[in-house]
Structure 1
Amino acid sequence: MNKIGTKIIDTERCTLRRIVPDDYQMMHENWAKLEEVCRYFPFNPVTDIEIYKEKVHNWANNYESDTYFHWVIEWKENHELIGTINLGNVEESCFMSDTCYMLSPQYWGQSIMTEVLQAVLRYAFEEIGLNRVQAEVFDGNVASVHVLIKCGMRFEGIARQKYYKNGRFIDTAQYAVLKCDFKE
């Protein structure tokens, strides 16, 4: 595994770059405080901007690690921050990681996340040298399932009642793609 850290990735419409502390306001405004974005994650929207400011500051400090891979998605046309994507829970000995992403609702339905995830998977397999990237999807998140399938991920099973949120247990579906199966 190549310990290269988070480098800039350009796609047709987006630039994926490291998060900097000053990004917190736009990130908070565009997705972190929104229920419609956070409903399919094990956490709730962050209503207190000062708490989110600290969270973003901590993410920015994590870049000191060469196995930390976390990007903010910047829309090239107007430089607006529209989402985030990562390769998290990296297991070096197994050459694998998870991926997770969020996107501002005004950019939904335009195949942006498919474009971005394809680029991150290419980085994972060709640059970092990972063999497997996996993702969890909350029950009901049909749009994310479509993104994962378009990017070559395969359904592997259900983790029943894996998370507890807002008074109920939630199932998650597991998807993954292997380096040998990855096609753009």
Structure 2
Amino acid sequence: MLYIQLTPFPELHTERFVLRRLQQADAPALLDQRSDPRIMRYLDREPDTTLEQTTALIERITQNAADNSGVTWGIVRPAATQELLGTIGLWRIMAEHHRAEVGYGLHPDYWQQGVMSEALAAVLDFGFQTLKLHSVEANVNPHNTASRRLLEKHGFVQEAYFRQNYFFRGQFLDSIIYSLLTPEAAKPELINEAATEL
């Protein structure tokens, strides 16, 4: 089993952005995002409707990091660290399987600017290099082509297609599971060693 340590909180830096801890001051901006129908279109859950819901979510996210069970970052610019552009996280870490699930959301004002691609690259590097994960998965609505393109750009492959496995608002929906293995799994010496053992 992996030993996961998320304290102190692992702030990440990319060329254009800072991935920092979410704060209660982020609640209004996060509520705006989690209630925006453009963002919620393919998330297949009810939108937040009150600030209390969002502050409770931030408390759960903070507790998850303290428990080493998940980590979620707020995406901000270095020159405007209080302006929340979106969130990204390894929100479900399965230490016993050396695996985590990635999830993300971005305000529509910043779509198609490479924001999430840059953030995802940093999070994957942290997951594989620092946490020593073996794989990362993502659960996607099949109609969310932007999310699918993002994952495929970063090397994720479709691992499963579940037909009508999710019930939401009176209908059964399909789900796609994408996954990405650690770059270590692709090293020739590791493949050769595995072949020798067979």
CA distance in 2, matches of 1:119, 1:146: 17
Equivalent of 2:64 in 48, 53, 62: 62
The 5 Å alignment of 1:144-159 reads 144-159=147-162
Scaled by the length of structure 2, what TM-score is found?
0.85
Query: Match for 1:178: what amino acid?
Result: L
Kept in 2: contact 1:4–1:67 (CA 8 A): no
Deviation at 1:182, TM superposition (A): 8.4
Tell me which stretches of 4 or more aligned residues in structure 1 moved more than 3 Å: none
Per-residue CA shift, 1:106-146, capped at 9, x if unaligned? 01111111111111000000000000000011021000011
Structure with the larger strand share = 1
Larger Rg: 2
Deviation at 1:15, TM superposition (A): 0.8
1:19 aligns with 2:22: yes
Please tell me the root mean square deviation across aligned C-alpha atoms, in Å.
1.8
Deviation at 1:50, TM superposition (A): 2.0
Can you give the 5+ residue segments of structure 1 that lack an aligned partner in the other structure? none
Equivalent of 1:178 in 173, 177, 181: 181
1:139 aligns with 2:113: no
Query: Match for 1:3: what amino acid?
Result: I
The 5 Å alignment of 1:99-138 reads 99-138=102-141
The 5 Å alignment of 1:30-109 reads 31-79=33-81, 80-109=83-112
Kept in 1: contact 2:137–2:177 (CA 8 A): yes
Kept in 2: contact 1:162–1:171 (CA 8 A): yes
Alignment coverage as a number of residue pairs: 182
- Pair 1:36–1:45, CA change in 2 (3 A): same
Query: Match for 2:31: what amino acid?
Result: H
Deviation at 1:27, TM superposition (A): 1.4
Deviation at 1:150, TM superposition (A): 0.9
CA distance in 1, matches of 2:66, 2:120: 23
Segment of structure 1 superposing worse, 162-171 or 145-154: 162-171
Can you give the 5+ residue segments of structure 2 that lack an aligned partner in the other structure? 187-198
Per-residue CA shift, 1:8-47, capped at 9, x if unaligned? 0011121111112221112112x11111111211312112
> Which one has more relative contact order, counting CA pairs under 8 Å at least 6 apart?
1
Partner residue in 2 for 1:3: 4
Deviation at 1:68, TM superposition (A): 2.5
